[in-house]
Amino acid sequence: MGERVALITGSGGEMGHGVLPRLRDQGFRIVALDLYDLPETLGRYCVETVRGDIRDEGLMGDLVQRFAPDCVYHLAAMLSAHSEADPFMAHQVNVDATCSLLRQCEESARQKGRPVRFLFPSSIAVYGLPDAATKVEAGAVEESDWNHPRGMYGCNKLYIELFGTFLGRRAGKAGEPGVDFRSIRFPGLISAETLPTGGTTDYAPEMIHAAAQGKPYSCFIDEHSRLPFMTMPDAVQALLDLAEAPPESLSTRVYNIRGFSPSPAEIRKRVLTHFPDAQIGFDPVPSRQAIVDSWPADVDDSRARSDWGLSPEHDLAAAIDDYLVPALRKRYDGD
């Protein structure tokens, strides 16, 4: 078998920055697509870089036909805050374009006679708890709990989880090659490499990036609201581990994962140990607080641990002390 081909959509985003080099290390030939030109630092890992929109069916169909990818990392999406602001556009990007790509991958799998592995980053936004009190009472939720998203972004993600799982099951039943769909419900992700771009969990990375630059920060979420988080390197590792897991080891096609589950006050406290003069206040924005109140305080990741060995490196202290602060000091102070 020759080199495996990976198609990565949304390759220029936060997650793409972590995934691309790691796939190149694994020996993949990478085809990358994003709305914006890929920085040269990432472009050099690719056999083809395309500037384009996943809603362009002709373009996507051509890429799938030309490169017949063995796996697709479908990272392109409209994130939560923007999806809530424009739900119709969110549906086009997050659902219609994704369904179309799934269909193209299924056709390609049939032509090639082997499955196309389809990695789909979902989100804790698929959960919908009715209020903050229920959220506290529910604690760490399992994959099948509270699948009643209140926001558009969560609706989009949940539908694709269901549709992708259906397509995989249908191919299995028919004994035909099809889409081997695998999804992770990511918690909030914190990256030292890139700045956040419109996610509801962005207050955590924003707080830390602001402190490292000596800028004041006003957190848009109540200081006691808890959500699960993870560092971007741990998230990327998890996605790659799920991609390589043998199909028979998977008891589900959609997995919870988490690194740690702090309140904003706990993040602030840890940040202050490194930047004691940081000015971090709290001024909750009701619309964004309502979304956080409907997402779980924590998730049960035991399936991911037992099925494919999830084991994140960073807890909150390690995330801030060992990963973020050294990288951000270098980035902003040139240390």
DSSP type of residue 143: T
Q: Would you list the DSSP string of 10-23?
A: TTTSHHHHHHHHHH
Angle, helices 232-244 vs 14-25, to 10°: value is: 50
Question: Count of residues binding ligand NAD (CB under 6 A)?
Answer: 27
Q: Which residue do the tokens 């796939």 mark?
A: 23
In the complex with ligand NAD, which residue's Cβ is closer, 41 or 273?
41
**What whole-number distance in Å separates Cα of residue 53 and Cα of residue 87?**
18
Catalytic residue among 45, 73, 127, 153: 153
In the complex with ligand NAD, which residue's Cβ is closer, 39 or 281?
39
Task: Give the nearest distance from C-beta 146 to ligand NAD in angstroms.
Answer: 17
123 lies in the binding site for ligand NAD (CB under 6 A): yes
Please give the structure tokens belonging to residue 199. Answer: 């996610």
In the complex with ligand NAD, which residue's Cβ is closer, 99 or 177?
99
228 lies in the binding site for ligand NAD (CB under 6 A): no
Tell me the β-bridge partners of 5: 29
Residue nearest to ligand NAD (CB): 13
Task: Give the nearest distance from C-beta 19 to ligand NAD in angstroms.
Answer: 9
In the complex with ligand NAD, which residue's Cβ is closer, 114 or 331?
331
Write out the binding residues for ligand NAD, residues 91-120 only, by CB under 6 A.
93
Please give the structure tokens belonging to residue 43. Answer: 């472009």
**What whole-number distance in Å separates Cα of residue 24 and Cα of residue 45?**
6
Which residue in the set 20, 23, 63, 79 belongs to the binding site for ligand NAD (CB under 6 A)?
79
Task: Give the nearest distance from C-beta 168 to ligand NAD in angstroms.
Answer: 19
In terms of DSSP bridges, do strands 5-9 and 254-256 run parallel, antiparallel, or are they unpaired? unpaired
Residue 13, classified by CB atoms within 10 Å of its CB into exposed (0-12), middle (13-18) or buried (19+), is buried
Helix residue ranges, H only, the chain? 14-25, 40-43, 57-67, 80-85, 87-90, 97-112, 132-138, 152-174, 203-212, 232-244, 264-274, 286-294, 302-308, 316-318, 325-333
Please give the structure tokens belonging to residue 137. Answer: 């009472």
Which residue in the set 98, 108, 165, 201 belongs to the binding site for ligand NAD (CB under 6 A)?
201
x-or-dash string of contact with ligand NAD, 26-65, rule CB under 6 A: --------xxx----------------xxx----------
Confirm whether 153 is a catalytic residue. Answer: yes
Task: Give the nearest distance from C-beta 9 to ligand NAD in angstroms.
Answer: 6
Catalytic annotation, residues:
153
Footprint of ligand NAD on this chain (CB under 6 A)?
9-10, 12-16, 34-36, 53-55, 75-79, 93, 121, 123, 186, 188-189, 197, 199, 201
